[in-house]
Amino acid sequence: MTPVLEVKQLTKRFGSQIAVNEVSFSVLPGQVFGILGPNGSGKTTTLSMVLSLLEPHGGHIQLFGSDDLLAGRKKLGVTLETAGFLPAYNGEKNLKMAALTKGVPLTEVEGALKKVDLWEARKKKFKSYSYGMKQRLAIASALLGNPEVLILDEPTNGLDPHGIIDVRNLIIKLSQEGKTIIVASHLLSEMEKVCTDYVILTKGKLIKQGKLSDILNEYPSLEEAFIQLTKA
C-alpha cells in the first residue's frame, strides 16, 4: 500500500536550535494518524514542511508516493487556524468565499456545513460562533473539494469539554467515511480516543511510533507512555 505521506530524516533548524531532528514516518490510507507531543516538540514545524510552508534543512518528503509535492497538496484538506474567516460574515458566506478561493463549486458548501453540524447555524455571524463552532467551520473549509487526506493542527486546542467532544466525534465520523486524517496535538488523552496510529515527538525528536493498540498493550495510556519515555 502506497503511503499518502512519507517523511525520511526530516530536519529543520532555526538558527542554532534544531526544531525537527531527523524524523521519519509514513501515513497509510485510512489511518487516523496522530503526530503527538507537547507544545514546542516540532509537530507544527513538521506539518509546515510537509505543506511547503517551511523549507527543510535535510530529509525527504513524498506525498502519495511522489516527489511532486505541488500535485500532492491538491489532494489535501488543511486546517491550521481559523484566522482566515471574516468576523462580520455568517458561516455560510465565509465558506462560500473559501470555496471561490479554492475554485470549488458553491454547491459543495451545504454538504460541508451539514457534515460538521453547522447548517442550522449557517446564518449566524462568525464572530458569534463559539470557539468549537469556529474550529468546525475551519474543518468544513478543509473538506471543500473532497480531499483524500485531512491535516488538522491542534483541532481541539482552547476548546471547552463540549467543543472537544464535538471535534472528536467529527474526526471519528470522517474516518468512518473513509478519510485519512493526520492530527497534530499535545492532548494525548484526547488523541487516544481517535487515533489508530501515532508518532510521539519531544524536543524535535521522534521517540515512539506504531499502532495505538500496541502502545496501549505496553502502557496504561498515551500520557503514561509519554511520561515514561521522556524520563531523564
Please write the tens of the pLDDT for every residue from 50-77.
999 999 999 999 999 999 999 999 999 9
Please write the tens of the pLDDT for every residue from 4-42.
999 999 999 999 999 999 999 999 999 999 999 888 899
Question: Is 84 a residue whose pLDDT tops 90?
Answer: no
pTM of this prediction?
0.91
**Residue of 50, 60, 53 lying closest to 22 (CA atoms):** 60
Which DSSP category does 67 fall into? S
Question: What are the two backbone dihedrals, phi and then psi, of residue 179, each rounded to the nearest 5 degrees?
Answer: -75, 140
Question: Is 231 a residue whose pLDDT tops 70?
Answer: yes
Residue 67: CB partners within 8 Å, gap ≥ 6?
60
Give the 3-state secondary structure of residue 20: strand
CA distance 57 to 77: 25
* Length reported for the chain: 232
Scan for cell 458553491, then name that residue.
Answer: 106
Cβ atoms of 65 and 2 within 8 Å: the answer is yes
**Residue of 181, 146, 147 lying closest to 75 (CA atoms):** 147
Please write the tens of the pLDDT for every residue from 88-106.
999 999 999 999 999 999 9
CATH number belonging to domain 1-75+150-158+182-232: 3.40.50.300
Cβ atoms of 108 and 142 within 8 Å: the answer is no
Report pLDDT for 81. Answer: 64
| Pairing mode of beta strands 5-14, 58-63 | antiparallel
Grid cell of 163 as nine digits:
467543543
Scan for cell 465565509, then name that residue.
Answer: 94
CA distance 111 to 224: 40
Question: Is 214 a residue whose pLDDT tops 80?
Answer: yes
Residue 22: CB partners within 8 Å, gap ≥ 6?
9, 10, 11, 58, 59, 205
Please write the tens of the pLDDT for every residue from 175-212.
999 999 999 998 888 899 999 999 999 999 999 999 99
